[in-house]
């Protein structure tokens, strides 16, 4: 009977305990470097300091010839005994792990073949949604969804970077870790609680407060008293529990309360018994960031909510509110602190590989600055993946179709300019293109065309065609009407992406593109046969790296 009882207990042991292999050593250097091989299945890894789990995550642990290495920062555990447990028999993978004072590949950091040079990327691993965008004490904070242990989505942490100018970034240690294994730290936002309504500060330092989705609990808040370097969790989390995620919080000054806009979904069944979800943005309010009260709901939005006020045509006496979702669909309307009232149909302000945009709170100049994830813009063969698109300033402007939202690259892009190549008053025709002899994979281009015929015209940039169909008034199948008979293009080209802003942001198109290094070129063309198409101005700027 005892043997059977013991056998039964043995069967109930977690498989991780039964089959795991261990490697033990003393921490002598700052980083433990873990080998990753992308084609392998992921496995569960535990890192214990003494008997306490320090980190727990999934990883494609290489058996040989790693594709790249990912670091585990052990700076606070020097001299401690560490045990690494692999879920599957993986002695070869465990044997490859080594310690160093710098991350593996440090000597080539930011100079890798497909490392974007004017867009933010993390040193290692996957990134997606920008999170916690806030300005404080001279720094713009960029937190972001991050898998520090793999090239693909998973293990959602909050990565951490700061900038003085929104262009040059310094990556900091991870800000938020998954609360427990498989309870991930999903998207959210940040504010500066200048009046200490939360009571989190006991001195004159306003707390930096973050709201994020803990996938195992709900909407949670954490706070920092050291300018966003480290965070302490609120003891009574979660502050909101529902079927949703992605809290965006901000201060509503007229009524002196906080607002949380959060994505929500409720299961529903149609008449035929088909199951689906009712998707919406819910609005909640609070006076202390801890206790939230439901106020209202807007249907038919999906993920990553935003709600903010913008002046129309830069007139501070005439403003409207904008609500948008992750895909770039937006309403223009009014907001009274509790209820958003749309006054327009839904519009679309971005097209292509831009997703999960978020805007900065507390900007020093009051500008509405947006960061977006370059969704699906990959860097295959690299130790990092995905990027943040170039920061844009959002404005409401009056058009012949009504008020619309325009994104445009922030002015700080000009600080990256190096040499300039310039052409003016060039006539393009079907047998007379412009070949610039510029061969770059990173550049900033500004062009203005006359649209005075039904000719197709545009540019070929490293094999990517930007084509305007004047008859249909479409730019790469996106409707763009000329303004005073002209089409203005602003284009940001990096090693893996192309961002196109037409007519100062009336259309915003984002696409992945990796140029062949032996075929770098910029040409302008038109299929006009007689009078041709006039290229009024065309400037190409060589660019400094943001990592310099």
Cα-Cα-Cα-Cα torsion 143, 144, 148, 151, nearest 10 degrees, comes to: -150
The token pair that represents 242 in the structure block:
């529902």
CA distances from 350 to 52, 121, 144, 324, 500 (A): 47, 21, 20, 11, 10
Place of tokens 């209202």: 296
3-state secondary structure of 372: strand
CB contact at 8 A, 224 and 232: yes
Which listed residue (65, 67, 76, 129) is catalytic? 129
Quote the CA–CA distance of 273 and 78 in Å, as a whole number. 59
Contact 450, 424 (CB under 8 A): no
Backbone angles phi, psi at 512, to 5 degrees: -80, 145
Query: Considering only CA atoms, which of 228, 213, 235, 514 is closest in space to residue 387?
Result: 514
448 within 8 A of 409, measured Cβ to Cβ: no
The question of whether 452 is a catalytic residue gets the answer no
As a whole number of angstroms, the longest Cα–Cα distance in the chain is 99
- At residue 457, φ and ψ (nearest 5 deg) are -150, 170
What distance in Å separates the CA atoms of residue 372 and residue 130, rounded to the nearest whole number? 6
**Residue 238, preceding peptide bond in cis (omega within 30° of 0):** yes
Are 119 and 390 in contact, with CB atoms under 8 Å apart?
yes
| Tokens linked to 238 | 């979660």
Give backbone dihedrals phi and psi of 391, rounded to 5 degrees, phi first.
Answer: -60, 140
CA distance 410 to 388: 14
Q: Is 239 exposed, middle or buried (0-12, 13-18, 19+ CB in 10 A)?
A: buried
CA distances from 173 to 30, 78, 184 (A): 12, 17, 17
d(C-alpha 227, C-alpha 166), whole Å: 17
Compute how many other C-beta atoms are within 10 angstroms of the C-beta atom of residue 122.
Answer: 22
In angstroms, the CA 356 to CA 492 distance is 20
241 vs 216, 217, 356, 545, CA distance in Å? 10, 7, 22, 43
Distance between CA atoms of residues 309 and 391, nearest Å: 18
Active site residues: 129
């Amino acid at each position: 009977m005892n043997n059977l009882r013991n056998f039964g207990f043995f069967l109930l042991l977690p498989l991780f305990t039964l089959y795991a292999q261990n490697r033990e050593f003393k921490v002598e250097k700052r980083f433990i470097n873990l080998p990753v091989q992308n084609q392998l299945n992921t496995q569960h890894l535990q890192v214990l300091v003494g008997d306490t789990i320090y980190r727990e995550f999934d990883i494609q642990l290489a058996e040989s010839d790693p594709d790249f290495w990912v670091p585990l920062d052990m700076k606070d555990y020097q001299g401690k005994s560490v045990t690494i447990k692999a879920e599957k028999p993986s002695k070869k993978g465990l044997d490859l792990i080594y310690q160093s004072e710098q991350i593996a590949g440090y000597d080539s950091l930011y100079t890798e073949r497909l490392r974007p040079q004017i867009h933010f990327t993390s040193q290692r691993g996957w990134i997606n949604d920008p999170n916690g965008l806030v300005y404080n004490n001279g720094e713009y904070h960029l937190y972001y969804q991050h898998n520090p242990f793999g090239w693909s989505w998973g293990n959602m942490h909050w990565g951490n970077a700061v900038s003085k100018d929104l262009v040059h970034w310094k990556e900091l240690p991870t800000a938020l870790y998954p609360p427990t294994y498989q309870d991930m730290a999903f998207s959210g936002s940040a504010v500066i609680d200048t009046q200490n309504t939360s009571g989190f500060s006991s001195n004159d330092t306003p707390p930096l407060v973050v709201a994020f989705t803990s996938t195992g609990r709900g909407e949670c808040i954490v706070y920092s008293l050291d300018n966003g370097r480290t965070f302490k969790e609120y003891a009574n989390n979660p502050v909101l529990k529902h079927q949703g995620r992605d809290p965006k919080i901000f201060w509503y000054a007229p009524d002196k309360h906080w607002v949380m806009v959060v994505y929500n979904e409720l299961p529903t069944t149609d008449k035929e018994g088909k199951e689906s979800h009712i998707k919406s943005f819910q609005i909640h309010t609070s006076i202390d960031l801890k206790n939230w009260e439901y106020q209202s709901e807007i249907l038919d939005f999906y993920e990553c909510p935003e709600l903010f006020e913008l002046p129309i045509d830069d007139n501070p006496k005439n403003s409207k509110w904008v609500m948008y979702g992750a895909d770039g669909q937006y309403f223009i309307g009014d907001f009274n602190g509790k209820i958003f009232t749309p006054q327009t149909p839904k519009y679309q302000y971005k097209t292509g590989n831009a997703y999960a945009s978020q805007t900065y709170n507390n900007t020093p100049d009051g500008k509405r600055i947006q960061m977006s994830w370059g969704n699906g813009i990959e860097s295959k063969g690299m130790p990092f993946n995905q990027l943040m698109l170039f920061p844009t300033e959002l404005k409401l402007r009056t058009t012949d179709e009504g008020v619309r939202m325009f994104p445009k690259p922030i002015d700080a892009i000009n600080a990256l300019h190096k040499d300039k190549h310039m052409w003016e008053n060039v006539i393009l025709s079907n047998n007379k293109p412009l070949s610039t002899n510029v061969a770059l994979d990173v550049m900033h281009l500004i062009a203005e065309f006359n649209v005075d015929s039904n000719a197709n015209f545009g540019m070929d940039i490293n094999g990517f065609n930007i084509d305007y169909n004047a008859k249909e008034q479409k730019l790469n199948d996106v409707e763009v009407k000329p303004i005073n008979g002209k089409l203005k293009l602003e284009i940001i080209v990096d090693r893996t992406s192309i961002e196109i802003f037409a007519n100062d942001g009336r259309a915003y198109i984002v696409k992945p593109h990796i140029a062949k290094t032996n075929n770098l070129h910029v040409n302008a063309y038109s299929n006009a046969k007689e009078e041709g198409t006039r290229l009024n101005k065309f400037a190409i700027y060589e660019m400094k790296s943001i990592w310099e």
